Amino acid sequence: MTSRFDYITLFLVTILVCIGMLAIYSASSFTGTGGAEYFNRQALWAVLGFSIMISVGFLPAKTLQQISYSFYAFMIVTLIYVLFFGKVGKGAERWIAIGSVHFQPSEFAKLATIMAVSSFLSEKYADVNRLKYFSGAVGLILLPFLLIARQPDLGTAMVFLAIIIPLLYWAGLHWFYIFVIVTPLLTMLLSFNFVAFLILMLLIVLVLILSRKKPIVLVAVFLMNIIVGIVTPTIWGQLRPYQQQRIMTFMNPEKDPQGAGYQIIQSQVAIGSGGFWGKGYLKGSQTHLRFLPAQHTDFIFSVIGEEFGFFGVSIVLFFLFLLIVRLIHLASTMKNGFASMTIIGIATVLGFHVFINIGMTIGLAPVTGLPLPFISYGGSFLLANLLMMGVVMNIAGKRFEF
């Protein structure tokens, strides 16, 4: 068992977890009350997580691929169980209690799904461009998506949707199919502006002609886009005002400073008031006077932004960037399909979390309740992320054995 650890990944993960611990300490230490409680608990989770990560790293080469389907099946069963017997947290059933410890299975379902899809698409003669494999892969992803969306935990569920295209693209999905999937989404967004809609339609026609596919396919794709473009505004018109309100609040949070937009504004204020150098560690006034909502979990990055400023933010962003780039690099050097796809899947999940979470703190993304990997407070989330890294290390360490 000659194992070579990927020390770069290990280093980056360690740094990020440490930054997270610092931020959690600050976020939970208010004037008057001790902040060590969250810090200690997170530290405990980190120790456990690192042990799991390293243990997984030492697992024999083929093991992961072999257990991927069982792992997936187990997670699906767990999700179904949670749906019926889960503990209620923040109005959604997503926790499972093992003794006194509460677990959030949806975090682990991400890894299970990635591994299952990777395993499925790396079977002999598997071709994602064939309907059987394409629909099989999408089905594997949609099943946990639906279960989690039912909880309802739309934020986490969105992660599953987000990995579909990158994962299948990496598996070799022809660009035209991606085009067919992506264009209706674009059409939906642009259908409110007639000029933008028209330009998009022209572009679609241009691409379709250049693609040299069968005329019937071209017409079908085009018609689909046109219909989406017409139907979207109609549906919007039929939405109830509060539903429109929610979407509009996302688009322009300052319109609703008391409601959901309040969080974004408070976060922006915290980050903005940090300036270039920040207010200094443990000196963020927004943080310590509890103006930030969920500041040790979802809005942990606002604390970093306020206390360490643009300088600190840039450094943390850089480490996150390096980690994802490292994963993409690893994925592209893997000769084994399962290994490569699993890592790219993990990279995608991380990237999505990072972008949505950090984007949320500055108003670039909706408030969905997605935590920031390695940094946000949360036991099962940290554990799940470290488990993912364990998988990466396992694969990366044994890349020459595949």
Judged by the rule CB under 8 A, the positions of this chain that interact with other proteins are 30-31, 122, 166, 169-170, 172, 257-258, 266, 268-276, 285-286, 289-291, 305, 309-310, 313-314, 317, 320-321, 324-325, 328, 331-332, 334-337, 340, 344, 347, 351, 354-355, 358-359, 362-364
Cβ of residue 64: shortest distance to other proteins, in angstroms? 16
Q: Which two tokens stand for residue 200?
A: 């998009």
Helix (DSSP H) and strand (DSSP E) numbers for the chain: 15, 3
Q: Looking at beta carbons only, is 35 or 359 nearer to other proteins?
A: 359
d(C-alpha 343, C-alpha 329), whole Å: 10
Cβ of residue 160: shortest distance to other proteins, in angstroms? 18
The region, left, alpha or beta by phi > 0 then psi within -120 to 50, assigned to residue 90 is: left
Q: Looking at beta carbons only, is 65 or 380 nearer to other proteins?
A: 65
Q: Which SS3 state, helix, strand or coil, does residue 91 take?
A: coil
Cβ of residue 362: shortest distance to other proteins, in angstroms? 4
Cβ of residue 376: shortest distance to other proteins, in angstroms? 16
Task: Write the DSSP assignment of 162-177 as a string of letters.
Answer: HHHHHHHHHTT--HHH
Cβ of residue 295: shortest distance to other proteins, in angstroms? 10
32: CB partners within 8 A, 6+ apart: none
In single-letter form, the type of residue at position 57 comes to G
Q: Looking at beta carbons only, is 2 or 33 nearer to other proteins?
A: 33
d(C-alpha 265, C-alpha 245), whole Å: 17
Q: Looking at beta carbons only, is 228 or 362 nearer to other proteins?
A: 362
Cβ of residue 361: shortest distance to other proteins, in angstroms? 9
The most distant pair of C-alpha atoms in the chain lies apart, rounded to whole Å, by 71
Q: Looking at beta carbons only, is 183 or 287 nearer to other proteins?
A: 287
Cβ of residue 317: shortest distance to other proteins, in angstroms? 6
d(C-alpha 165, C-alpha 178), whole Å: 7
24, 296 contact by CB (below 8 A): yes
**Sheet of 87-89: strands edge to edge?**
87-89, 92-98, 101-103
Q: Looking at beta carbons only, is 136 or 293 nearer to other proteins?
A: 293
Q: Looking at beta carbons only, is 97 or 364 nearer to other proteins?
A: 364
Q: Which two tokens stand for residue 400?
A: 């020459």
Q: Looking at beta carbons only, is 105 or 166 nearer to other proteins?
A: 166
Q: Looking at beta carbons only, is 282 or 317 nearer to other proteins?
A: 317
Cβ of residue 69: shortest distance to other proteins, in angstroms? 19
Q: Which SS3 state, helix, strand or coil, does residue 194 take?
A: helix
Cβ of residue 258: shortest distance to other proteins, in angstroms? 7
114, 72 contact by CB (below 8 A): no
Q: Looking at beta carbons only, is 151 or 361 nearer to other proteins?
A: 361
Task: Write the DSSP assignment of 323-370 as a string of letters.
Answer: HHHHHHHHHHH--SHHHHHHHHHHHHHHHHHHHHHHHHHTTSS----P
Q: Which SS3 state, helix, strand or coil, does residue 144 take?
A: helix
Cβ of residue 18: shortest distance to other proteins, in angstroms? 21
122: CB partners within 8 A, 6+ apart: 65, 336, 337, 338, 341
